[in-house]
Chain A
């Protein structure tokens, strides 16, 4: 479409405003001089300074990062294994049940997942804290990894694994030297997905966490109930910045690789 009709302009502006106005407000007010969140009183970065001096928030952030890294890594290993089992062994007994059960947490209301995990931890007498939050996050993010990796495995050319074995690689070495490097981008994006899910989870963490293991979303939520402080705005702005940088880098890299690949293929066809 060459011309921008008035209708199109209006709908684009409205759409973006709807999506981004709240975020822009949040970012703008994180640089507010005033303690009042809704009244502008000049530019300042003092809330960022006070954020880094706020022990409570910083501790919560540290807990969140550790939980996210650990749970995402374990969930990636388990999720990849489940994806392999589901795509490779298509005829084992109970496959349908297994795949249904792997996917169930995708649609399960978080409240139910959280509550049932809480009941389990209480029943087996596991003290709530860092370990229980991590376990809970592994449980619900594993299925997302499985979905991502499984879709990659479905388009995977298995003859390259056969070729590896034919050339003398044992099944383990075939997996490590051929299968894993080829599916690595999918495994990595599964890991990133699990990491993100864990970072911003509030509901399940609230059920399964205990004293000393408060995550950042829990901390922010509990503080907001007492009133929003510009410190929270600052914390959220940093999070938004990190996420935005991550997304931009990832998409630039993907784009570059795609362009390079196309150029290479054209060169190969041209016989150079």
Chain B
């Protein structure tokens, strides 16, 4: 697993046992009547981390964020921020600020009074407020819009005002609730990188809630994948993608083929697994399950190679099949290959060359192959 994880930058306090977490959720449960939104959850977030809470709607990610902001109180458990239990501190006394999904700009105030609102609450002198507001306007490149009201701005500009407002007080932690949800695709991609640069430059801790896996993968140092009020896996984007710890995570993030089967031999960090389709897979596996136990084998489409000839290398797994369907996407081509047993697997091949002589066609007999480290064994 050494190659996974710190792809982006050498920042990994979670791997250092001496590092102290900045935010800790300890056995936090939140119930709304009979509904358990957050279920006995424990989670550490580190200083200067860009942390993403990812999950489908209703998985408890927003409730978690709202508890951090102070809008909800945990039914039980502790929330520790910078060494202090904040569970009972009201939102207006917490050193965290939030950027709302709807932006929640004050409609009756100009852009500059929106940004200065938090500073006025703190009783900062007027000239300092003006200075800070000017600074924030420059940061989000909205200098010429200072006197406008929110309804006189476009969606992207409103998003920037909301961001500037939540950063104006220089909070210890910035919470972002679906920060890019209301923007169109192109603007969203641009803004993702702007947010990352901003977080780096200001040296802040960002906690972002999103249902968009691409957004989480792009921006975050670590992602917590949530489902039904529980954290299923916390890891770097690369680990989440390449080494999912469960069927749920494998299936939730990206495309995956899952082959169910039984372990037939196990040892030396390698296992042999016979799938229900009667196809033997030899693969590396970290926590090798015992021989005879049921397991799933997960492999991403881009890790599968489709070729006309059988691979000659003996360490490579291969299965024969027939091309069932082809999807040409421009940058890559997706093949749906029907194996002998009738199981259809998805394989995607990059179109690295413009012109391919004699491309693979429908109904052709092909080999699907992959290496020993291409897939992951799922125990559940």
A residues sitting closer than 8 Å to B (CB atoms) are 157, 159-160, 162-171, 173, 177-178, 181-182, 261, 264-265, 267-269, 271
Contact, CB under 8 Å: B100 / A167:
no
Contact, CB under 8 Å: A162 / B151:
no
**A–B complex contacts, Cβ < 8 Å, 29 sampled:** A157-B104, A160-B106, A162-B69, A163-B100, A164-B106, A164-B117, A166-B91, A166-B96, A166-B97, A166-B98, A166-B166, A167-B97, A167-B165, A167-B166, A168-B118, A168-B122, A170-B92, A171-B92, A177-B117, A178-B106, A181-B108, A182-B107, A182-B108, A264-B149, A265-B152, A268-B151, A268-B154, A269-B154, A271-B154
**When chains A and B are docked, how far (Å) is the Cα of A164 from the Cα of B107?**
12
Most buried by B among A157, A167, A182: A167
Closest B residue, CB atoms, query A264 = B152
7 further A-B contacts with Cβ under 8 Å, apart from A166-B91, A166-B97, A166-B98, are A159-B102, A160-B105, A162-B71, A162-B104, A166-B71, A167-B166, A264-B149
Give the contact-size bracket for chain B: 20 to 34
Closest A residue, CB atoms, query B100 = A159
**When chains A and B are docked, how far (Å) is the Cα of A162 from the Cα of B177?**
13
Please, which residues of chain A bring their CB within 8 A of the CB of B107?
A: 160, 182
**When chains A and B are docked, how far (Å) is the Cα of A195 from the Cα of B196?**
56
B19 is an interface residue with CB less than 8 A from chain A: no
CB distance from B258 to the nearest CB of A (A): 40
Contact, CB under 8 Å: B104 / A160:
yes
B121 is an interface residue with CB less than 8 A from chain A: yes
Closest B residue, CB atoms, query A184 = B108
Which residues of B144-164 are within 8 A (CB) of A? Answer: 149, 151-154, 157
Please, which residues of chain B bring their CB within 8 A of the CB of A265?
A: 151-152
- Per-residue contact bits, chain B 114-156, to A (CB 8 Å; 1 contact, 0 not): 0001100110000000000000000000000000010111100
Contact, CB under 8 Å: B118 / A165:
no
Most buried by A among B70, B98, B169: B98
Please, which residues of chain B bring their CB within 8 A of the CB of A167?
A: 92, 97, 117-118, 121, 165-166, 169
Please, which residues of chain B bring their CB within 8 A of the CB of A166?
A: 69-71, 91-92, 96-98, 166
- Per-residue contact bits, chain B 342-365, to A (CB 8 Å; 1 contact, 0 not): 000000000000000000000000
Most buried by A among B93, B97, B98, B104: B104
Please, which residues of chain A bring their CB within 8 A of the CB of B90?
A: 165
Q: Secondary structure of the A side of the interface?
A: helix
Please, which residues of chain B bring their CB within 8 A of the CB of A173?
A: 121
Closest A residue, CB atoms, query B165 = A167
**When chains A and B are docked, how far (Å) is the Cα of A177 from the Cα of B92?**
14
Closest A residue, CB atoms, query B145 = A268
Closest A residue, CB atoms, query B66 = A162
**When chains A and B are docked, how far (Å) is the Cα of A264 from the Cα of B157?**
14
Contact, CB under 8 Å: B92 / A261:
no
Contact, CB under 8 Å: A169 / B151:
no
> B91 contacts which of A159, A165, A269 (Cβ < 8 Å)?
A165
CB distance from B31 to the nearest CB of A (A): 15
Please, which residues of chain B bring their CB within 8 A of the CB of A268?
A: 151-154, 157
**When chains A and B are docked, how far (Å) is the Cα of A221 from the Cα of B125?**
61
Closest A residue, CB atoms, query B158 = A268
Contact, CB under 8 Å: B153 / A168:
no
CB distance from A92 to the nearest CB of B (A): 16
Closest A residue, CB atoms, query B101 = A159
